[in-house]
Structure 1
Amino acid sequence: MTCFRFGGTEKGEGILPHDLKLYGYGFLPRIKTEEGSIEDDGVYFLPMLKSDYLPHSAKWDFLKKLIESPKIMKICCNAQLVLRDFYKIFGTYGVKPKNVFDPIIAAWMLNSDLESHTFIELIYHFTKKTQQATLADSNIHRFVEDMVDSLHLWDLLTENIVKFGLMDAYKLEMKVLPILSKMEVIGIGFDRDCLGKYKNTLQEKLEDIKSEATKLVGHPVLLTSPKQVATVIYDEMKLSVSGKATKNGQKSTAEEVLSQIDHPFPKLVIEYRQISKYLSTWIENTSLSAYSKEISYLPLRKQFQQPAQKEYYEDQIRIRAHWKQVGTGTGRLSCKEPNLQNLPKTTMMIEIGEGKSVDLTVRNAFVSREGYTLLGADYSQIEMRILGHMANDKYLLEFFANKGDIHSLIASRTLGKPIDQISPKERNHFKTIVYAVLYGMGPKTLSGILKISIQESSNFISKFLGKFPDVKKFIDYTVNKAKEASEVRTILGRRRVIDFSDVHRGERQALNSVIQGSAADIIKLAMISVEKKIAKTPALQNVRLLLQ
């Protein structure tokens, strides 16, 4: 089953997903003959642009019965996009897809580090069709070929999914897929005015900084230009910095260099850059992603004159990000347009006058509908708990069982000091050290983060591993097993192929993929459990999963 869309240009270039109209759906049924063999039963196309021989309501009734049938397996590339159409037409709980399988997700599970997981690239990679035959965009003129290719791809991938023991993990992913489709349709409430006020405040502050910089220098300077800033600092002001201040033969204006110079101008440059980045990344980009229901929810219904029960979120401006199931090598979900998983937690304090300041928090712009509440839930120290479980480290397991502050307890054991004598600095240092070990970070990188020498950094890592020997054994075992098998497995059996052509990179990926991938498994199980609870509980009929 495949859907075909078109936009304002032949190839859909520059067209946003909500601007694409639905051409129709293609089908290549497989049937079981009286002799018990499986045969293809021709290629069919259900046009959706015009209500010609069949009214749209009848077409959608047929599609709904098909997508909900537990007896019919639906093989569908980019199924997340297809299901999104159904949720827009019937409401997020007005249709219950069953037995939907996506070959693209199967390909990602077999090798998450492929350069691309697009349909065209996967056909070329797995079926070895000539590149010329696969370069053209998949569209209505190629739908028969696309249907055949999809089925061929599925046959090849499922054979390997079974071979590598990934079917259970794959079925888990297919339970997550419709949840992500719903999240994209629902989105999250957004207060444009909030970020509008923030934008004005930041732009005024940037102008104040530019004026102050001009007074200091004696002429205007483009504070975002490394070349102009370097000329002012090193040539005009003759300011010096301890240590190496050049990079690739150029005078450096990096923050770690400028922060060492005791002069107001470099401090203004740093402040200007930080505010500019905050403004462009979190204020302006996020605001551009906010659409009303008229853009991202209703066009499909308007195209097909299809009524549906109005959902509680339809009359609110919302941000509808794109959730990528195949976006990472570890199995974690990723988010873009905008990235709602990486919104800054911290508050930016902006001085707006003598003794006056204003606090800016991007997350304040995300709001619930009137009468509803946004509820956040998270696992505490999930990756540390997975480490304790997988390493079977008696000390970590004891620390978690006693429900103390895990990082202070680790610092206490490693340094041999009573926990009440552990300073906040020592606690934070060991928090960073433990995660550095988990993510395969070396002493050099860690020293830069902690602002200590490489030798001190190396000593801290050695002390930690010496006091937690089971963690060291687990790390060594994981890396050595990965080198033997060229792969690692998560707690639920998810596979990641590891390339050791770069030994350090391979070792880092091996450990990181087991820990982060297992965390991803557990969080996806939680999403499925929450969704089941919502569907089965009448009192929760208006509860929706919005973000992960």
Structure 2
Amino acid sequence: MSEKIVLIDGHSIINRAFYGVPDLTNAEGLHTNGIYGFLNIMFRILDEEKPEYLAVAFDLKAPTFRHKMYDAYKGTRKPMPEELREQVPVLKELLTAMGIPLLMMEGYEADDLLGTAAKKSEEAGVDAVIVSGDRDLLQLATEKIMIRMPKTKRGVTEIENYHAQDVKDAYQVTPSQIIELKALMGDASDNIPGVPGIGEKTATNLIAAYGTIENAYAHVEEIKPNRAKEALKNHYDMAEMSKELATICLEAPLTLSFEDARLTNLYTTEAYEWCRKLNFKKLLGRFEEAEAGKPAEPEVTMVTDFAEAENLFSRLKNQKQIAFELYYEEGLHVSLTDSEQEVFCVSEEGFLTEQYLLDKLREIIEEVPLCGASDVKKLLAFVHPVCREHLFDIEIAAYLINPLMSSYEHEDLKKPYAALTTFKKMPELLKKLDDMGMRKLFDEIEMPLVFTLYDMEQAGIRVNGEELREYGEALVGRIEELEKKIHEAAGEVFNINSPKQLGVILFEKMGMKGGKKTKTGYSTSADILEKLAGDQPIVRDILEYRQMTKLKSTYADGLAGCIAKDGRIHSKFNQTITATGRISSTEPNLQNIPVRMELGRLIRKVFIPAEDCIFLDADYSQIELRVLAHMSGDEKLIEAYQQAEDIHRLTASQVFHVPIDEVTPQQRRNAKAVNFGIVYGISSFGLSQDLSISTKEAKEYIERYFETYPGIKSYLDGLVEHAKEEGYVTTMYGRRRPVPELKSSNFMQRSFGERVAMNSPIQGTAADIIKIAMNRVHDRLREEKMKSRLILQVHDELLVEAKLSEADRVEEILREEMQQAASLRVPLEIDLHRGKNWYEAK
């Protein structure tokens, strides 16, 4: 008899449970009905199926490919109710506490992961049971894959079961033709638009007759009734898009093994505590029944005696490797594991004060060669400074190994055992880093960066609160001016922030052409309005109004709420967010300060240095193009940089076939767009949009560019071929970026994968170089015992708050360390400026 795996669609089932189970809350006011209903369905399925394996799939917060595609065409998805939204992370924690693996991956929806896992199971001879309320998944049904769909009728949950023949019996089409059916009839619950005017009955008849939408379109003149024929003729593009939206990816790069998914004991102490806290009294009986068969947890040695603690810390100093974690619960607790994998927990009590524990932990870190922990940067607030060469951050290691995951947080909820989990992970992660050629990247760039970023976060950047208030007032004044102008031009007062009202004004009352009408009204997205702005003053005012209101809410108001008591903003810098290796900034995001419009740039004036200090701003000049020149080996581009020529003017001369001294400013701007577009794998369509030219002209520009720099063309083509063969591309420093999109059956996703393959090595190498420069500048300032501090990084730009007395020396350090951060075939150049505020320095 075959083994069996149950795969649950997490968001689908909790959503169905939320609407099917009466509202429940626990003592803390948390809504729990979705979680409770989910667990009841899960336990019912497990009791009925008795599988060997179990996993639950969830969508990530970031929009997946199909969401992006739909949103670009039709609008945003219906938001999840807050009462349900708050239950999702709790459900994930509860499932993790039960030891159930969660399938989540950036760029893939839950049904992609379910489909991939089910197909892999079928290939391995394992029966798969998919539990979901999403009819899209019926396309996966075979004799070995069953779809189980819970339905609530009169308060009772019934489950419909579908193998391949069941789908045929119920819908008169095969499982694979469910995709074709959705392409025509759509599915409002899953945001698939379909073809306007074609319902389920007509769609079923068409697919039964023609098999696919492509075949139906090829015979469109034969289609009856006439209404369906005209609908398909006029909206075939929507059918194609809907088919893309409905097609589940079966080749997601899942790393889940059957061993990871093996169903063991769900009734853990941690899960019991969760159910008790959630007030699921009826479910607690399951835990009590399973208690006799529960595997014993590893023994934890609780250390509360001072002498015992002294002996433990003394012994741990002689270890070659340890793991530790800190957590607070009515005082500080230090979880520790040694090479014998014994678990110790030393808690703040009596003579074991917080300071004593932190001092002892710092001593251990300085002595033991390898000390593992999760989120080392967070720990530095307690044990900094320490010997950074000895620390191993398992989250950063996991990020390097797979940069496409949404989170690298420690998943062990049993806090006393957290260090044991870390200890067990370290050898595996170390081996993978070595096998993948990224140990040096980890040791020499990423781990030192933890300390650099920590010091930057602690330093923060000073804000002139009065200047910020005045900036906000100026925005309010401009917003009111624009509001008045827009209302006068429209001839009536209306809500400018309402897309529905705005659409009526522009496309009905004022009769503007180019409006796209949806079920909710006309689309007034930025790309549509920008096409109208050239001839319509009111549209230009509306676009500016949107910019002004965003500046007001995001910066004038948003930044004011982020100023700490010391008068500075302490943004967080993240190492494990972007797939390319770039650092990101949050709480607030200071890397997203506007630069395109003057009023946006003026926000930089509110950022000022401390007393007796000045800002030094150093910005790499065209670093990604220089990296491209080096990595491609294109001799013409390398020579141009070595001769310090104006790259954009030279490119314009070559592409437009004019002498270099006759290149017009417009030609130079166009060449600049091509130069930077090539770095990002721009398509002829994308370039045509940027330059407001035809796709044919843009294609010619790109072809001439590659004729001018043939080494670049062969290099970029080689990157795509390597990614197709190996599944990833690398930077100059060995950083890997997986490109699973290249294996997709979806054309648009494969095209996206090709762009990723072309630009990731360039962007990633530039990011690595900037990190090296940051570490070196930071360390030099410390080594020379300066009071000047590196306080901000914005992509290619470093900002230093320099003491006036040290400014000249700091300039020398910036130039030396940034220009010598990498050895390229072309020089690394920086633009360096001083200023009394960030605006002046920039």
TM range (shorter): 0.7 to 0.9
| Code of the aligned partner of 2:672 | K
Q: Distance in 2 between matches of 1:256 and 1:277?
A: 17
Alignment partner, residue 776 of structure 2:
529
- Once the two structures are superposed, residues 259-301 of structure 1 have per-residue CA deviations (whole angstroms, 9 ceiling, x without a partner) of 52645433332221121112122222222221123xxxxxxxx
| Code of the aligned partner of 2:336 | F
Alignment partner, residue 251 of structure 2:
none
Q: Distance in 1 between matches of 2:554 and 2:656?
A: 40
Post-superposition offset of 1:46: 3.2
- Once the two structures are superposed, residues 101-122 of structure 1 have per-residue CA deviations (whole angstroms, 9 ceiling, x without a partner) of 11111111111012332222xx
Which 10-residue stretch deviates more, 281-290 or 53-62? 53-62
Aligned partners of 1:344 and 1:363 also within 8 Å? no
Correspondence for 1:514 among 761, 774, 792: 761
Alignment partner, residue 124 of structure 1:
none
1:149-298 equivalences in 2 (<5 Å): 149-171=421-443, 172-237=445-510, 239-241=511-513, 244-246=514-516, 248=518, 250-259=521-530, 260=532, 262-293=535-566
Which 10-residue stretch deviates more, 197-206 or 392-401? 197-206
Q: Is residue 408 of structure 1 aligned with residue 649 of structure 2? A: yes
Q: Distance in 2 between matches of 1:235 and 1:280?
A: 30
Q: Is residue 78 of structure 1 aligned with residue 387 of structure 2? A: no
| Code of the aligned partner of 1:291 | A
Aligned partners of 2:336 and 2:420 also within 8 Å? no
Which 10-residue stretch deviates more, 253-262 or 516-525? 253-262
- Once the two structures are superposed, residues 401-460 of structure 1 have per-residue CA deviations (whole angstroms, 9 ceiling, x without a partner) of 111211111211222222221112111111111222221221112111111111111110
| Code of the aligned partner of 1:321 | S
Which 10-residue stretch deviates more, 319-328 or 256-265? 256-265
Q: How many residues align?
A: 460
| Code of the aligned partner of 1:83 | L
TM-score, structure 1 normalization:
0.79
Q: Distance in 1 between matches of 2:716 and 2:537?
A: 47
SS of the equivalent of 1:224 reads coil
Q: Distance in 1 between matches of 2:750 and 2:504?
A: 41
Aligned partners of 1:110 and 1:496 also within 8 Å? no
Q: Cα 1:346–1:424, aligned 2, differ >3 Å: closer, same or farther?
A: same
Q: Pairwise CA RMSD of aligned residues?
A: 2.1
Q: Distance in 1 between matches of 2:597 and 2:373?
A: 43
Q: Is residue 372 of structure 1 aligned with residue 681 of structure 2? A: no
Q: Cα 1:530–1:438, aligned 2, differ >3 Å: closer, same or farther?
A: same
SS of the equivalent of 2:790 reads coil
Q: Distance in 1 between matches of 2:596 and 2:495?
A: 28
Q: Distance in 2 between matches of 1:436 and 1:248?
A: 32
Q: Is residue 324 of structure 1 aligned with residue 594 of structure 2? A: no
SS of the equivalent of 1:373 reads strand
Alignment partner, residue 18 of structure 1:
none
Alignment partner, residue 543 of structure 1:
788
Aligned partners of 1:217 and 1:232 also within 8 Å? yes
Q: Distance in 1 between matches of 2:638 and 2:621?
A: 14
Correspondence for 2:685 among 420, 423, 444: 444
Correspondence for 1:65 among 363, 377, 390: 363
Q: Is residue 110 of structure 1 aligned with residue 370 of structure 2? A: no
Aligned partners of 2:332 and 2:354 also within 8 Å? no
Determine which structure has greater relative contact order: mean sequence separation of CA pairs < 8 Å that are 6+ residues apart, divided by chain length.
1
| Code of the aligned partner of 1:546 | I
| Code of the aligned partner of 2:524 | T
**Could you say which structure has the larger radius of gyration?**
2
Q: Distance in 1 between matches of 2:355 and 2:554?
A: 43
Which 10-residue stretch deviates more, 201-210 or 476-485? 201-210
| Code of the aligned partner of 1:25 | V
SS of the equivalent of 1:369 reads coil
Gaps of 5+ in 2: 1-323, 794-842
Q: Cα 1:158–1:283, aligned 2, differ >3 Å: closer, same or farther?
A: same
Aligned partners of 1:345 and 1:363 also within 8 Å? no
Q: Is residue 145 of structure 1 aligned with residue 454 of structure 2? A: no
Alignment partner, residue 99 of structure 1:
390
Alignment partner, residue 675 of structure 2:
434
SS of the equivalent of 1:374 reads strand
SS of the equivalent of 1:201 reads helix
- Once the two structures are superposed, residues 139-160 of structure 1 have per-residue CA deviations (whole angstroms, 9 ceiling, x without a partner) of xxx2233222222222222221
Aligned partners of 2:562 and 2:569 also within 8 Å? yes
Alignment partner, residue 28 of structure 2:
none
Aligned partners of 1:488 and 1:514 also within 8 Å? yes
| Code of the aligned partner of 2:380 | L
TM-score, structure 2 normalization:
0.52
Q: Cα 1:468–1:248, aligned 2, differ >3 Å: closer, same or farther?
A: farther
Q: Distance in 2 between matches of 1:26 and 1:62?
A: 13
Correspondence for 1:27 among 327, 336, 339: 336
| Code of the aligned partner of 1:446 | L
Q: Distance in 2 between matches of 1:43 and 1:158?
A: 22
Gaps of 5+ in 1: 7-20, 31-38, 88-93, 121-133, 294-316, 350-358
Aligned partners of 1:482 and 1:510 also within 8 Å? yes
| Code of the aligned partner of 1:423 | T
Q: Distance in 1 between matches of 2:582 and 2:562?
A: 23
- Once the two structures are superposed, residues 164-197 of structure 1 have per-residue CA deviations (whole angstroms, 9 ceiling, x without a partner) of 1211111121111111111111111111111110
SS of the equivalent of 1:44 reads strand
Q: Distance in 1 between matches of 2:707 and 2:673?
A: 17
Q: Distance in 1 between matches of 2:485 and 2:773?
A: 52
Post-superposition offset of 1:338: 1.3
Calculate percent identity across the aligned residue pairs.
Answer: 30
| Code of the aligned partner of 1:27 | L
| Code of the aligned partner of 1:109 | L
Correspondence for 1:341 among 564, 583, 591: 591
Post-superposition offset of 1:518: 0.7
Post-superposition offset of 1:29: 2.0
Aligned partners of 2:377 and 2:450 also within 8 Å? yes
Post-superposition offset of 1:219: 3.5
Aligned partners of 2:358 and 2:382 also within 8 Å? no
| Code of the aligned partner of 1:408 | R
Aligned partners of 1:112 and 1:328 also within 8 Å? yes
Q: Cα 1:200–1:479, aligned 2, differ >3 Å: closer, same or farther?
A: same
Q: Cα 1:430–1:150, aligned 2, differ >3 Å: closer, same or farther?
A: same
SS of the equivalent of 2:737 reads strand
Post-superposition offset of 1:86: 3.4
Aligned partners of 2:584 and 2:591 also within 8 Å? yes
Q: Is residue 388 of structure 1 aligned with residue 638 of structure 2? A: no
